[in-house]
Structure 1
Amino acid sequence: MNVNVQPHELGCVLEIKAQPGARKAELRGLQAGALKVCVTEVAEKGKANKAIITLLRKMFKLRGSQLEILSGETSSQKKLLIRNVSPDSLVQLLVAHGVTDE
């Protein structure tokens, strides 16, 4: 799997391609090494960012405090810090949720 996951002193960093305003909230595989995350919320006042964090938190069974957007708050390209999760563990979570290369 060619997902772009970087080790971080607090866990790992995952690159995300956000698609706000989608019909349904879901993971749509990988796009250029980034996890494509679709959410129904629109990209205004941080609503889509909150929806992305909520979706990933629920899917991966994490606490909200484990997820933080490091960069790309106002961009579709984001870097997400996932605390206390190793890069290998994250890749296993993605595979378990059916994420594969496009």
Structure 2
Amino acid sequence: MADLRVRLTPRGGRDAIGGWRDGVLQVRVAAPPVDGQANAALCRLLAKVVGVAPSRVTVVRGQGAREKVVRVDGLRAADVHERLPPG
């Protein structure tokens, strides 16, 4: 399993991964930060990019904050970093 530090920008216009800044993955999603919609969009986007099922990506810390810790089950941290854009 891999834990990633993520800075999420909800209502960012479109779903996109912006790369790394100071060890934190910059992500924006179109979904609003209401009723967990932005967190769900984040998990779906990361799952698609790293090639795992959406159920294997969860927000483990920071559900209501912009800075979060996201866990990807089934992959090592090195594999996840390899599949994400550089930054």
Alignment counterpart, residue 67 of structure 1, candidates 57, 64, 69: 57
Task: Answer yes or no: is the 8 Å Cα contact 2:9–2:29 preserved in 1.
Answer: yes
Q: How many angstroms does 1:61 deviate by?
A: 1.8
Displacement over 6 Å in runs of 4+: none
Q: Which runs of 5+ in 1 are unaligned?
A: 1-10
Amino acid at match of 1:24: R
Distance, in Å, in 1 between the alignment partners of 2:47 and 2:77 is 16
Distance, in Å, in 2 between the alignment partners of 1:61 and 1:84 is 10
Q: Which runs of 5+ in 2 are unaligned?
A: none
The alignment of Structure 1 onto Structure 2 pairs a total of residues equal to 87
Q: Deviations over 1:16-67 (max 9, x none)?
A: 0000001111001112211111100111110100110111111222112211
- Scaled by the length of structure 2, the TM-score of the pair is 0.93
Bigger Rg, which one: 1
Determine what percentage of the aligned residue pairs are the same residue: 21
